[in-house]
Amino acid sequence: MEFLPIRKARNLIRRKIIWIATAAAIILVTAICVSNPQYASPPPKSPSMAPPAQEACDIFSGDWIPDPEAPYYTNKTCWAIHDHQNCMKYGRPDSDFIKWRWKPDGCELPLFNPYQFLDIVRGKSLAFVGDSVARNQMQSIICLLSRVEYPIDMSPPTTDKHWKYVNYNFTMSYFWSPFLVRSGVRDDVGPTNIGLFNLYLDELDESWTDQIHGFDYLIINAGHWFNRNTVYYESRRVVGCRYCLLPNITDLPATYAYRRAFRTAFRALENFAGVTLMRTFAPAHFEGGEWNAGGDCVRRRPLWSNGTVLDGQTLDMHAAQLEEFRAAMGRGNRGVRVMDVTKMMLLRPDGHPSRYGHWAQEKVVLYNDCVHWCLPGPIDSWADILLHLLNMEARR
């Protein structure tokens, strides 16, 4: 039987050893953080890091306000930026376009906190499904999270991407599906030299619908590909087309296919156990001509909401999405939410790459890009909204 004084002495020694080891660990971690800013502690709270906006506030209506602290990464600190959106690398002469943040009317929307985001998605998975603007958004999030951790690329040799945040057991994926439904190339050239596609409006695109059932969060989008030359099929027969210039086929507006594609996508998600965010149409800002006829986006400041309204195709596409969303809810699909960025991005004609997605002297056929968004740039504010929506889901 151990004597009490001896037992106390041993316990005291153990406590001292634990204290010394803990102090050494703290010193080591502090040294790492000082020498590696990407591992630094979360920024102190400020008005922009206030508690999440109340659910009653419409975070999708507001204006862009100056943010002198932005950007929160640069094209030199983040390797995930696609060259065509790397505006500063390719000589964009102004930088004011990165000094704004989205401010909803009547409430505060906290700036994206990478630590809070990764804590919410710890042990979970998120997938983007859609076109290259979805990829643009994913790369924005990777850059914003780079202050905490860079992911490991787990991707197969396809257009799909899978990123693993090891320290948080979080997976972020991207599935290429610009029409959300089954499609195929009908003619490599087509009437405008960019190809003619077959679009099967009532058939699932199994390249993503067969892979998303294990995910916790899904962000779906589609948009500008619906302006391409396409032939529309329903029940395996031609019902019309978009600029196909084929005999005896009726030309239909892009919204015809857009509406039906979302209807089919929502049907695919009826048994999805996770949460789906439908990201709405992000407007292009071509002025002075169409994308292939000299159009460009040369503005250098945001617009104000009180003088800007949705109209034309942007209004029609946005309305079609929301109507199909409401119809899906009416059919009992309660796992879908709206991430309505259309109005806020309508105000940012200054945020596109324009000609600054490649070197000016390059002898390549590239049109001015007024569809995608510079990184860093306005699309980073989508992360503020995404974090707010995930916070709301955590409180449900």
List the catalytic residues: 132, 369, 372
Burial readout 257-268 (b: 16 or more C-beta within 10 A, e: otherwise) = bbbbbbbbbbeb
What distance, in Å, lies between the first and last C-alpha atoms of the chain? 56
SS3 of 96, please? helix
Question: Angle at the Cα of 142 (from 139 to 144), degrees rounded to 5?
Answer: 110
- Say which residues have a Cβ less than 8 Å from residue 167's Cβ, sequence separation at least 6: 149
Alpha helix segments (H runs only) across 92-223: 114-120, 132-145, 206-209
- Say which residues have a Cβ less than 8 Å from residue 24's Cβ, sequence separation at least 6: none
Instruction: Provide the angle, in degrees to the nearest 10, between the axes of the packed helices 381-395 and 132-145.
Output: 80
**Structure tokens belonging to residue 383:** 């992360």
CA gap 51, 386 in Å, rounded: 15
